[in-house]
Each structure stands twice: as structure tokens, then as C-alpha cells.
Amino acid sequence: MQENRVLSGMRPTGRLHLGHYHGVLKNWLDLQNEYDSYFFVADWHAFTTHYADRIDLEANVMEMVVDWLAAGINPNTSTIFVQSKVPEHAELHLLLSMSTPLSWLERVPSYKDQQLKLKEKDLSTYGFLGYPLLQSADILIYKAGLVPVGEDQVAHVELTREVARRFNHIYGREADFEEKAETAIGKMGKKQAKLFCSLRKAYQEKGDGEALVKAQALLKEQQNITLGDHERLLGYIEGVGRIVLNEPESLLTKASKMPGLDGQKMSKSYGNTISLRDTSDEIDKKIKRMPTDPARVKLTDSGNPEKCPVWQLHKVYSDEQTQDWVVDGCTKAKMGCVECKQPVIDAIKDELMPMQERIEKYQSDPELIKQIIFEGSEKARSVAKETMAEVREVMGITY
Ligand code: TRP
Ligand code: SF4
């Protein structure tokens, strides 16, 4: 398993806004320095809800990748790719669908929630029901250890774990599993083999969790055993079959605190966003139009920042000193709202202007973007192909 590998995806919604930047991208930026990171555009996922809408997917994919790059996702260290360019995701989705009980999909909370939310759409489709399983395939095919997601997606990672467990249980039980596992232990060298066996025993007989971790670490150090043997021995420690698909952990992204122009969470569907591409003028206009504490009709009326969406933005952008200045000026009616908004306007511009220079640079070079997507997708595909070779092997589809 690749504990060190992070994988996450985003639907191709096109141009991103500050909510995406503060809620998702900044988190990815931190992760990419620490992990072997895979970030992809989940373009097939768009069809699970928008199958009948004629959206310009190509433009959406390109613009989103431009925004990722401009935000600082580094194509030299992270693998940036597009789902449909790695058709192996579809093959794994198909094969997993054979053994996934319908009830598992029906009880994923997003299934009913989204149907209620998007009432104008007919979402009683096969693809919509199966979309969390497609997501499972997206994750499992890279053997990713960690999946950064928001709260709404945790159930999907949980499903992924169950799907992996079931797959390993069904297909990891080779007829001669024990024999193969014992032969593999023999390849570890006497001392290591002995240690491995005693750790395994400690785990299986006494439930010693520390022994489990030690045995897994010991396995990882082994240079002269094959990938297949590695998977067998991982399963052998726990007394299960060969572990072909590993169970990922979700890495819960703290709920985005990014408030929109009206104080609700920033979201396209609320029409309260600031796009990463908004011009200086648009930023001015949007912030100036923001509602404030309704109690402040006249300059001499004191206000309460807690009742004001602008204050929410100060919490994101302003240092302590500025925040003190806001509270003092607002509650004691020492300053007007126009004045109070200025530091927010300045901070957003400071954040976005350098990003917009990069957006412009990338946007004017579509060939470069295509090249980055091509190279990332090729790299992703080589990993996906390896996993599929193993999946086909254990399922007996190698003829
Ligand atoms: N379903 C996710 C969303 O709507 C996007 C996604 C697709 C994803 N495949 C994934 C996220 C795999 C993480 C891992 O936001
Ligand atoms: Fe909001 Fe600032 Fe006006 Fe107070 S002074 S109501 S915090 S904009």
C-alpha cells in the first residue's frame, strides 16, 4: 500500500472561487510538499448529475487546471490528470460493480440528499446510484493511503474501504494461499522470517496491535519479495487473504470557513462568490455592495460585527490589530462601513493579483496545459495499469 500517496479529485466546475481556494486548494498545497500527490479532474463524475446538460466540459477542465496551477499546484511534484484519460478507472468500476451490494449504494447519504436537492433533475439513474463506487475505483486504482475530502465525502471513502475489504475477501483467497505465504516468508531470510512469524502470532493470538504495525513495517523493508508476495503476507498477518486493494483513510479537510458575500458559505449556487479571476473593479464592487449589520443605518449607530458578513471576511484576512480596529470602530460607531471594508478589499486583491498574473500566463498557453494533463495522465495510467494487471490476475481474467 502507498501510505504516502494522497489522491483527490474535483468535478470540472470550471473557474474556481475563493471558497475552493481556501477550502480545498490551500490544503492540497500543503499536502503536495509532504506526499506523493495525485490530483485529478473527475470529468466522468460530471455526467452523473449533468448528463442532460450541454456543458462545455473541455473549457471547464482546462480552466480548472489553469486555476490549480495558478494557485500553486506543482506539476513537477504532483501528478495532475484527467479521469477520462485513464480509462482503467472504468474497468475497475465495472468489475467492482459485480460484487457491490445495491444496499451499500442506496444507503450512502448523498444518494437521497442530492436527489432531494436537485429535484428538477431525474437522478434515479444507474450512473447516479453508482457514482460513489466510481469514486471508490478512482481511489483504489492508485492504492492511495490518504484521501483529502470534505465532510460530505467521508461516507464515500468509508464505502471504498468496505468495497476493498470485500474484494480482497472474495478474490484474495487463492486456493494455495497458505502455501504461497509460507514460501514467501522463506524468502525473507531466517532471522527476519522468525521475527515475522512471532509478530504474526502475537497479533493473531493476543490481538497485539503493536505487533501488527511492526510486522507491516518489517514487510515494507523487505527488498527481495515480489509485490504479490507482499500483498499475500500483509493479508497473512491478519489471517485474511491477499490484500490487493488497500483500504484508504479519509483525511478530513476542516469545513471551509470561507464565507461568501452574504455571510453564508461561499458557493456558486448561492451566487455569493468572488472568483479567482474577478478584476480589481469587480472585487471593489462586490465588497462595497456587501450587506452589513442592519443596525448601522447612520454613521452614529453602533453595530455588532457578529451580525455582519464583512466581519467574517476580516476573520479570514485581517491580523489581530486590524480586527481590534474593526471591533472598536464598529461597536463605538467610530467609523463607517465603507472604511471598514477597505482592508478586506486590499487583502483579497493582494491574494488574487499575483494569482491572476499566473492565470493569464497559463490561459494564454493552452498547449502547455494540454501537455501537463497529458504527462500527468500518462503517469497516472501506468500506476492504474499495474493495479489492473493484479486485479485481472486474482479474478482470473488473464487469458
Ligand atoms: N465526488 C467528489 C466530489 O464531488 C469528487 C471525486 C471523484 C473524488 N472521485 C474522487 C474526490 C476520488 C476524492 C477522491 O467532490
Ligand atoms: Fe460590518 Fe465593519 Fe460595518 Fe461593523 S463597521 S457593520 S463590521 S462593515
Grid cell digits, residue 374: 497529458
Atom number of ligand 1 nearest to Cα 135: 9
Q: Percentage of the chain with pLDDT > 90? A: 80
Q: How far is CA 164 from CA 46, 158, 247, 339, in A?
A: 24, 10, 6, 56
DSSP letters along 55-99, please? --HHHHHHHHHHHHHHHT--TTTSEEEEGGG-THHHHHHHHHHHH
Ligand 1 centroid distance, CA of 238 (Å): 30
Q: Cα-atom radius of gyration of the chain, to the nearest Å?
A: 25
Collapsed DSSP state (helix, strand, coil) of residue 116: helix
Atom number of ligand 2 nearest to Cα 337: 3
Minimal CA–CA distance to 167: which of 88, 246, 89? 246
| Closest C-alpha to ligand 2, atom 8 | 337
Compute the average pLDDT of residues 336-346.
97
Ligand 1 centroid distance, CA of 37 (Å): 15
Could you read off the pLDDT of 8-47 as tens digits, one per residue?
999 998 899 999 999 999 999 999 999 999 999 999 999 9
Segment among 208-217, 279-288, 321-330 with least mean pLDDT = 208-217
196 close to 128: Cβ distance less than 8 angstroms = no
Distance CA(136)–CA(144), nearest Å, equals 11
Ligand 1 centroid distance, CA of 190 (Å): 45
Could you read off the pLDDT of 324-339 as tens digits, one per residue?
999 999 999 999 999 9
Ligand 2 centroid distance, CA of 387 (Å): 55
Residue of 5, 7, 10, 252 to mutate, ligand 1, most atoms within 8 A of C-beta: 10
Atom number of ligand 2 nearest to Cα 314: 7
Local confidence band at 370 (pLDDT 50, 70, 90 cut-offs): very high
| Pocket lining: 287 vs ligand 2, CB cutoff 6 Å | no
Distance CA(121)–CA(338), nearest Å, equals 42
| Pocket lining: 308 vs ligand 2, CB cutoff 6 Å | yes
Average pLDDT, the chain: 94
Local confidence band at 256 (pLDDT 50, 70, 90 cut-offs): low
Most confident region among 151-155, 253-257, 284-288 by mean pLDDT? 284-288
Q: Which ligand is the nearest neighbour of the Cα of 154?
A: 1
Confidence at residue 164, expressed as pLDDT on a 0 to 100 scale? 96
Could you read off the pLDDT of 46-64 as tens digits, one per residue?
999 999 898 899 999 999 9
Q: Percentage of the chain with pLDDT > 70? A: 99
- Return the C-alpha torsion angle 27, 33, 36, 39, nearest 10: 40
Confidence at residue 241, expressed as pLDDT on a 0 to 100 scale? 86
Atom number of ligand 1 nearest to Cα 42: 7
Atom number of ligand 1 nearest to Cα 131: 1
Higher-confidence residue of 95 and 227: namely 95
| Closest C-alpha to ligand 2, atom 7 | 305
Distance CA(284)–CA(274), nearest Å, equals 11
DSSP letters along 229-268, please? HHHHHHHHHHTS----SPPPEEEEPPPP--B-TTSSBP-G
Q: Which ligand is the nearest neighbour of the Cα of 313?
A: 2
Asked if pLDDT for residue 3 goes beyond 80, the answer is no
- Return the C-alpha torsion angle 267, 273, 276, 282, nearest 10: 170
Domain positions in the chain are 2-172+248-256+366-395, 177-238, 278-363
Q: Which residues contact 14 (CB under 8 A, 6 or more apart)?
A: 59, 60, 63, 64
Ligand 2 centroid distance, CA of 293 (Å): 6
Domains 2-172+248-256+366-395 and 278-363 share a fold: no
In the block, cell 461561499 appears at 266
CATH class entry, domain 278-363: mainly alpha
Ligand 2 centroid distance, CA of 337 (Å): 5
Q: Which fold has domain 2-172+248-256+366-395?
A: Rossmann fold (3.40.50)
Distance CA(368)–CA(374), nearest Å, equals 10
Atom number of ligand 2 nearest to Cα 341: 8
pTM: 0.90
Confidence at residue 238, expressed as pLDDT on a 0 to 100 scale? 87
Pocket of ligand 1 (CB under 6 A): 7-9, 11, 42, 45, 135, 138-139, 147, 149, 153
Q: Which ligand is the nearest neighbour of the Cα of 312?
A: 2
Confidence at residue 145, expressed as pLDDT on a 0 to 100 scale? 94
Distance CA(44)–CA(46), nearest Å, equals 5
Could you read off the pLDDT of 164-207 as tens digits, one per residue?
999 999 998 888 888 999 999 999 989 999 999 999 999 999 98
Confidence at residue 1, expressed as pLDDT on a 0 to 100 scale? 56
Asked if pLDDT for residue 260 goes beyond 70, the answer is yes
